Amino acid sequence: MNALSTNKQSWDEAAERFFGRNPLPEYGPMAPSEDDLHLFGDVTNLKVLDIGCGSGHSLQYMRERKAAELCGLDLSSKQIEQATTLLEDSAQPVRLFESPMEVNPGVPLDYFDIVYSIYAIGWTTNLPKTLENINSYLKQGGIFVFSWEHPLYNRVGNKEGVLTLDHSYHDEGTYDHVAWSSTAIMQQFKVSTYINALVDHGFQIEKVIEDACWSEKDVQRHANRWYTYEKAKAIPTTLIIKCRKL
């Protein structure tokens, strides 16, 4: 079974557990939110595409902010079913594609004002092809914003309150995420790899954000989870990048 088939099966099994987990305005656990960063600006009457749309809650956020058109793409049939149900009463046009991000299943080209991806880009099996696709979906001058687990975060372990470097930051490639109950194959890239790949595929970098922030509620919510306050104090959980199509 290849990585895409493995991940599709894993996400179909996990879809209910991740229903509505960390959607916009959140960018990730214990990370700044869109309410803090204002990366999108006013989305009124804009066309938006969500890469790895999951249960559709980030698209719902865009709908509430009066985006003109909503479009989403996700590998998991269960996630697409959930997003369809969530968004079925939308007054705006909504198009959802069940597809890996490495493939264009019929998404229009040079069409969208905004493409974004919230905690999904690291699931790609082919980062260059995914970025090539995303660039092709955007109008010239269009914005691409994505967040993903910071590349340092899973390199460091927390053993009885002591942080230890468990893996080299320089090691890149596929890995089976230990926090998943079933096999889930993700991609490890350095921050510089993401930035250089974006530049190579026709994007101008505007913001790179590695900040961490938390409230008492966040600390309690993430107690004994993969993302913990103890690690977040020393290592950012989330990498956020905003760029623009040249």
- Give the CA distances from residue 52 to residues 11, 70, 72, 123, 155, in Å, rounded to whole numbers and listed in that order: 11, 13, 7, 9, 24
Q: Give the chain's domains with CATH numbers.
A: 3-151+190-245 (3.40.50.150)
- Report the pLDDT averaged over residues 21-42: 94
28 or 181: which leads in pLDDT: 28
pLDDT tens per residue, range 132-171: 999 999 999 999 999 999 999 999 988 878 899 999 999 9
Sign of CA dihedral 152, 156, 161, 162: negative
Q: Rounded to whole angstroms, how far apart are CA atoms 214 and 217?
A: 8
Confidence of residue 102 (pLDDT cuts 50, 70, 90): very high
22-26, 71-75, 127-131, 159-163, range with the lowest pLDDT: 159-163
Helix, strand or coil for residue 50?
strand
Q: What's the chain's average pLDDT?
A: 91
In this model, does residue 1 exceed pLDDT 60? no
Residue 18 confidence (pLDDT) above 80: no
Q: Give start and end residues of each alpha helix (H) in the chain.
A: 3-14, 34-37, 57-64, 77-87, 127-137, 191-200, 216-221, 229-232
Largest CA distance in the chain: 51
Residue 219 pLDDT: 67
Cα separation of 86 and 174, whole Å? Answer: 32
Confidence band of 66 (pLDDT split at 50, 70, 90): very high
